[in-house]
Amino acid sequence: MTETASDLLAPRTDYYQVFADVDGADLEWWARTRDFCAWARPHINDAWEKAEYNIAAVEEAARRGLVRDGIDIEGEPAMSIRANRLMAMEFARCDASTATAVIVQAGLAMQSINLCGSEEQKKEFLGPMSRMEIRGAFALTEPDHGSDSIGLETSATREGDEWVINGEKKWIGHGSVGHIAIVWARMDDGEVGGFIVDQDSPGYDAETITGKASLRGIPQAHIRLRDVRVPDSRRLPGANSFRDTARILGGTRIGVAWTALGIAIDCYEKALAYASERVQFGRPLIKNQIIQQRLADMLMDVTSVALHCRRLLELEESGELSEKQAALAKVYSTRAARRVAANARDMFGGVGILLENDVMRHMVDLESLHTYEGTDTIQSLIVGKTITGVSAYR
């Protein structure tokens, strides 16, 4: 029997049948991601609780051809934009740390090379990176430049056929456990360039950030670069201004909206299943009016985020998607997913704080999504600028 979209997302979840028309290769990619998540799920909470990077899971995803972000890889089947976004949703439905690892590897590091690299760099890195033979980081954020990343202070000075890089980066996924890092630095002409830096280079020092209460399943690093020498052949020739950097970030910002949708779906479905089974005062929770109302509220948020993502997809596929539209979807989706997760955790009562029920992990992981790829405030101000014509932040 051939699988349909309804087999992957039940009608009680996809209430408006937003994704009911997904078929063909797109449906196959979505199903392959669902199958991977079924394989990975039993180990997710243990790795999260121990703050261990479940690299075996990400490598298995790569073996299944899922670490691509829609990039064309020689010898691999095509992956559409639609398939890629549905896969991001499904990864997050399982685990935000795993979804983030894929975003870092494919959506940021690989896309930097795909969009800004030379043909030689693409041939050297993209295939091995899609197989996780080379793990990559995207080093943009600095200790003093998060939301205002355009003000980055890391410098790259040309000396003959080499560049000498100095500065610091922070909150860099794969930055301490990878092989290369795409380091963004201000060049001699004042513009921002990208450089492929080997993580074992002299002067590259990366420390894994500890004490995180969110996204515990992927390590992030504080990187210090002291006179790190990079040959000119490792400079990304298509990265010549911050606008080129922003082009990459635009894609991952959309990915965050889809990731939030995946988390919201899992929280809603877990809460519905628990309320159907849990008996209190001699009756299932779902027979109570307040529970039905809260489930309806959660479904409204899930449906609204799905509609945002579907419209984003149409704009992305037609090449019409703008930064301001991605900003609105990102901020709305993470806000709505937080509401869904909070309702789900409360509906579980005391056992809602147990990792085995997933919703608490989802709830705290959403705090990272709410912040990275542009904070709630910054995304709102991007939209505000387009509404008013006046910038409130620069």
Task: Write down the residue that tokens 């806000």 correspond to.
Answer: 335
Tokens of 88: 């991001």
Q: What is the distance between the alpha carbons of residues 19 and 33, in angstroms, rounded to a whole number?
A: 16
- Domain-embedded: residue 205: yes
Report the candidate in 224, 230, 227 with the shortest Cα–Cα distance to residue 168. 224
- Rounded to 5 degrees, φ, ψ at 195 are -135, 135
Cross-strand bridge partners of residue 192: 186
Would you state the pLDDT for residue 29?
A: 97
In contact, 264 and 302? CB cutoff 8 Å:
yes
| Separation CA 385–CA 393 (nearest Å) | 9
Residue 394 within any structural domain of the chain: no
* Amino acid symbol at 40: A
Instruction: Give the residue from 116, 131, 146 where a domain finishes.
Output: 131
64 and 97 co-located in one domain: yes
The confidence score (pLDDT) of residue 1 equals 42
Average pLDDT over residues 122-139: 97
Partners of 156 in the beta sheet? 165
Which residues form the domain of 165?
A: 136-241
Domain endpoint, select from 108, 131, 154? 131
Position 23 confidence tier, pLDDT thresholds 50, 70, 90: very high
pTM for the model:
0.94
pLDDT digits (tens, 9 = 90+) for 25-72: 999 999 999 999 999 999 899 999 999 998 889 999 999 999 999 999
Q: Same structural domain for residues 368 and 249?
A: yes
How many independent structural domains does the chain possess? 3
More confident residue, 374 or 354: 354
87 occurs within a structural domain: yes
User: Residue 376: pLDDT band by 50, 70, 90 thresholds?
Assistant: confident
Burial of 50 (0-12, 13-18, 19+ CB in 10 A): exposed
Asked whether residue 393 is domain-assigned, the answer is no
Residues 212-240, mean pLDDT to the nearest whole number: 96
Identity (one letter) of the amino acid at 258? Answer: W
- pLDDT > 70 in the chain, percent: 98
Q: Helix-strand-coil percent breakdown of the chain, rounded to 5?
A: 55, 15, 30
Residue 323 has pLDDT above 90, yes or no: no
